[in-house]
A = this chain, B = another copy of it.
Amino acid sequence: MTYLPPNRYFSPDPAQRQIALTLYQTVADLPLICPHGHVDPRLFADPDYQFGSPAELLLIPDHYIFRMLYSQGIRMADLAVPRQDGGVVESDHRQAWQLFADNFYLFQGTPTGIWLTDELVNVFGVSDKLNAKNAQAIYDQIDAQLKSPAFQPRNLYDRFNIEVLCTTDAATDTLAHHNAIRNSGWHGRILPTFRPDAIVNLDTENWRDQIAALRHVSGIDVVDYTSFIRAIEQRRAFFKQMGAKAADHAALTAFTTQLTDQDADIIFQRALRGETTNADAAQFTAHMLFQMARMSVDDGLVMQLHVGSYRNHNEHIFHRFGRDMGADIPIASEFTRGLRPLLNQFGNNPDFTLILFNLDETTYARELAPLAGHYPAVKLGPPWWFHDSLNGMHRYFDQVMETAGIYNTAGFNDDTRAYPSIPARHDVWRRAACDWIAGLVVRHIVDEADGAVMVKALAYDLAKTAYKLA
């Protein structure tokens, strides 16, 4: 039997643990603010949406899970992960689930293990530890629940106590699902986020198809840099009208620059001709980050920047299974010099918000906290991706907060495509935050009254404020 005691994940020190628990009880039931993530808005567009099999919900789409299984020599096809190239994969989800259960021990001590366990216990009422023997019985138990109305996404939204959930949507998206949600009269608050990477990063596969889609959706004939910018501005206006509060940008590095319109157009024309070089793509992304900051200053959309993931590291996997298959590997990052052009132009504007995410923890104390602790525009996002874990949060609190202070951070976001994992992810953050603050209290660095304000800020207020969701 899995037992999830009320004081889990806290320091073992009895004094700190007691304070952590007391603090936790003040934030445990606060609504969830989900300002950044990858849940599909389709889940909410159809009031009667139902999830598929347990494997379809929990295993097949989750690259956190199958990367670990793959790393131990298990074939992704055997886990029923669909191939893009038409290759055959396991079609029996029970078989794939069995393989997952056989190897569930691999997740011991990992954040994925923590989330899955919490999800099984608290969302699905499964308190037996998943293993080879009980795999099919647990499959049946989850499967039956997924067919009940209580497990439809809108009902889970209420059960999860979500206050607002922002999705991530391509610049070329029509936001049809978002429109359906708005027109349905449902009380849930699901907002789009503007993510233009595919049109901005010239080295995107099939970039010219993306531009064709942009032409189509914007009605603007994108033939040069000027019309490209106009189309983007038009899309941002549309997203904003549809409720968006933020834009989101992913880049390999934090390098920013301001090209002349003429130089930008020369690169853009090369790209239209399919003649992009690596240097072109790097320069253009750096320039477009600068432009996106300018637009954010103009339209008020919060600018998020996710830096440092080397995408599709494994060509073998990429060619067979496509993007986002657990084969993105971080690289070292640099912000101090890279962001300087952008920050010198826009960073002193307190109405502009730039939220930074990063996979290189060495920049926490060295670059990010000093930048956030100085520039009015800069806020730091929570630990991202590989670092969205108890130890990752611990390192974040210890390396960021002394220099940045908590009020230059943007609270938590779950950044997940795994909808049923949302409560578990917020709970880990809230527990980690309470334990960290309890450590300050027990060391007499802050008192309990201040500590209570701080944990509420970390658990709820900061995310809401930073993303203008109030």
Q: Quick check: A347 and B16 within 8 Å, CB to CB? A: no
Interface status of A300 (Cβ within 8 A of chain B): no
Give the residue among A8, A343, A376, A403 with the most B Cβ atoms within 10 A: A403
Interface status of A145 (Cβ within 8 A of chain B): no
Q: How far is it, in angstroms, between the C-alpha of A4 and the C-alpha of B446 when the chains are bound?
A: 10
Q: 1/0 per position for A357-372, CB-CB distance to B under 8 A?
A: 0011110011101111
Question: Assembly of this chain: how many copies?
Answer: 3
Q: Quick check: B326 and A330 within 8 Å, CB to CB? A: no
Which residues in B have their C-beta under 8 angstroms from that of A314?
343-344, 347-348, 374-375
Q: 1/0 per position for A385-404, CB-CB distance to B under 8 A?
A: 01101111011001101111
Interface status of A30 (Cβ within 8 A of chain B): no
Which residues in B have their C-beta under 8 angstroms from that of A375?
71, 314
Q: Quick check: B445 and A405 within 8 Å, CB to CB? A: no
Q: How far is it, in angstroms, between the C-alpha of A107 and the C-alpha of B313 when the chains are bound?
A: 42
Q: How far is it, in angstroms, between the C-alpha of A389 and the C-alpha of B359 when the chains are bound?
A: 24
CB distance from A103 to the nearest CB of B (A): 9
Interface status of A125 (Cβ within 8 A of chain B): no
Whether A108 touches B405, Cβ cut-off 8 Å, given contacts A73-B376, A336-B331, is yes
Whether A374 touches B326, Cβ cut-off 8 Å, given contacts A109-B406, A386-B369, A401-B110, is yes
Select which of B105, B110, B389, B405 is within 8 A of A450 by beta carbon: B105
Stretch of A187-195, A215-223, A280-288, A435-443 on the interface side: A435-443
Interface status of A350 (Cβ within 8 A of chain B): yes
CB distance from A345 to the nearest CB of B (A): 9
Whether A376 touches B310, Cβ cut-off 8 Å, given contacts A108-B406, A362-B332, A443-B8, is no
Which residues in B have their C-beta under 8 angstroms from that of A73?
350, 376
Which residues in B have their C-beta under 8 angstroms from that of A371?
329
Q: How far is it, in angstroms, between the C-alpha of A108 and the C-alpha of B370 when the chains are bound?
A: 16
- Specify the chain B residue showing the minimal Cβ separation from A440: B109
Residues on A facing B (Cβ under 8 Å): 3-5, 7-13, 15-16, 67-68, 70-73, 105-111, 113-114, 310, 313-317, 326-332, 334, 336-337, 340, 343-344, 347-348, 350, 359-362, 365-367, 369-376, 378, 386-387, 389-392, 394-395, 398-399, 401-408, 439-440, 442-447, 450, 453-454
Q: A-B pairs with the 4 shortest C-beta distances? A: A73-B350, A8-B444, A12-B442, A389-B402
Please name 9 pairs of A and B residues whose Cβ atoms are closer than 8 Å in the assembled complex, sorted by A.
A3-B447, A8-B444, A8-B445, A68-B373, A106-B405, A108-B406, A310-B336, A332-B366, A390-B445
